[in-house]
């Protein structure tokens, strides 16, 4: 199969062997004579899939099954923007605002209760990660967005929030950098960037946090306790998407886990940033603080919109897809998630150098 170079921000590139195993399971799953899309989520064969995915994920994150629950839910990260404050915002909540998606998280929290923006990089068009903040004395939690898909900035290390629980929207760099994940009380991630297709959001949450701090009343589907108790099977989960996640987690382990992914991701990102830095008057990177540059979503502008359109057309002619920047900011964006092969980055950087020479 003649695969294109896939730089879409999400849904995004998946490992080819995961596509192959999913293709086979769509036709027949576990020798049952039915598709993975047709099997009951209560069936033992699917139960084995979801349990293996939970165990593999916690192993990759170096977290204990006794302390953490893994949930596979619907609604994407956007529903988590509301579920988090619905469950945990009792007094007030602190948010660090670093981009488009953290703005949306703040908006949902504000509908629930007192919400404090304790740090923000909006003053400079989200071109950096704010490092200085003071946590409110009565904060129920601190919320961050680990990677900013649209603007292209990233927390390279998780902040220390002391005794205040840390909650992370990890959607677009989940399992791409090694962290001490035990710093977080709750992590959520839309799967469609690094670990699966659209349709499932992964939640990794401390059991004690749910037991001690989550609301006990209210809508069943919006309570984390419901899903922890029923092990993601309170209602029919997104079975096919969970299967793809389970296959991707096995691929991650087979290829060296998070440490190996980070090393490869740093190499890929450096190749692109090196071209940007070599021609700063032509390729204008959006993130001003180099240490805050995302390994996942690399963003830049060209001198004119006309040149950007020409670059995108040239890229498309060479089977490079998904390079157009988000509609909120424009420009160019290359998303180089875990499964993005080195060959695609090599092709992109060659195009960038050639395009510079022809149009400088």
Contact 248, 15 (CB under 8 A): yes
Burial annotation 63-72 (CB, 10 A radius, 16+ → b, else e): beeeebbbbb
Give me the catalytic one of 140, 169, 173, 292.
169
How far is Cα 97 from Cα 124, in angstroms, rounded to an integer? 12
The residues near 223 (Cβ < 8 Å, ≥ 6 apart) are 86, 87, 214, 215, 216
Which candidate in 94, 140, 173, 193 is catalytic?
Answer: 193
**Beta-strand runs (E) in the chain:** 5-6, 68-73, 92-97, 114-120, 139-145, 147-148, 153-154, 166-169, 184-190, 201-206, 284-285, 297-301, 320-321, 332-335
Look up 169 and say whether it is catalytic. yes
Cα–Cα nearest to 193, from 261, 290, 286: 261
Q: Is 300 a catalytic residue?
A: no
**DSSP result, 70-103:** EEEESSHHHHHHHHHHHHH-SSEEEEEE-SHHHH
> How many CB atoms lie under 10 A from the CB of residue 145?
29
> Is 193 among the catalytic positions?
yes
Q: Which sign, positive or negative, has the C-alpha torsion 127, 131, 136, 140?
A: positive
Sign of the Cα torsion 148, 154, 158, 160 reads negative
What are the residue numbers of the active site? Answer: 101, 169, 193
């Amino acid at each position: 199969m003649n695969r294109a170079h896939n730089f879409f921000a999400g849904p995004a590139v998946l490992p080819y062997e995961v596509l192959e195993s999913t293709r086979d399971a769509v036709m027949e799953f576990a020798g049952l004579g039915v598709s993975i899309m047709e099997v009951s989520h209560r069936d033992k064969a699917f139960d084995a899939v979801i349990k293996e995915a939970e165990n593999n994920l916690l192993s990759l994150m170096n977290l204990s099954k006794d302390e953490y629950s893994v949930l596979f839910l619907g609604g994407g990260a956007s529903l988590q923007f509301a579920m988090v404050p619905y469950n945990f915002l009792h007094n007030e909540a602190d948010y660090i605002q670093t981009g488009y998606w953290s703005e949306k998280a703040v908006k949902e929290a504000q509908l629930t209760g007192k919400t404090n923006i304790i740090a923000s990089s909006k003053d400079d068009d989200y071109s950096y990660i704010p490092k200085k903040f003071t946590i409110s004395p009565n904060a129920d939690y601190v919320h961050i967005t680990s990677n900013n898909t649209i603007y292209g900035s990233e927390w390279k290390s998780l902040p220390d929030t002391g005794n205040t629980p840390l909650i992370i929207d990890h959607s677009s760099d989940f399992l791409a950098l090694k962290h001490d994940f035990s710093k977080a009380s709750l992590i959520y991630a839309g799967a469609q960037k690094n670990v699966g297709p659209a349709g499932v959001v992964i939640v990794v949450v401390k059991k004690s946090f749910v037991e001690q701090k989550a609301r006990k009343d209210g809508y069943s589907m919006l309570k984390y306790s419901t899903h922890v108790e029923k092990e993601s099977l309170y209602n029919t989960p997104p079975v096919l998407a969970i299967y793809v996640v389970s296959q991707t987690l096995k691929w991650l382990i087979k290829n060296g886990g998070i440490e190996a992914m980070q090393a490869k991701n740093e190499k890929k990102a450096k190749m692109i940033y090196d071209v940007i830095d070599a021609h700063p008057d032509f390729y204008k990177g959006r993130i001003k603080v180099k240490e805050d540059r995302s390994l996942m979503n690399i963003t830049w502008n060209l001198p004119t919109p006309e040149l950007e359109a020409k670059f995108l057309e040239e890229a498309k002619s060479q089977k490079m897809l998904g390079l157009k920047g988000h509609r909120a900011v424009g420009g160019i964006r290359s998303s180089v998630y875990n499964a993005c092969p080195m060959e695609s980055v090599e092709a992109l950087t060659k195009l960038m150098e050639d395009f510079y020479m022809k149009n400088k």
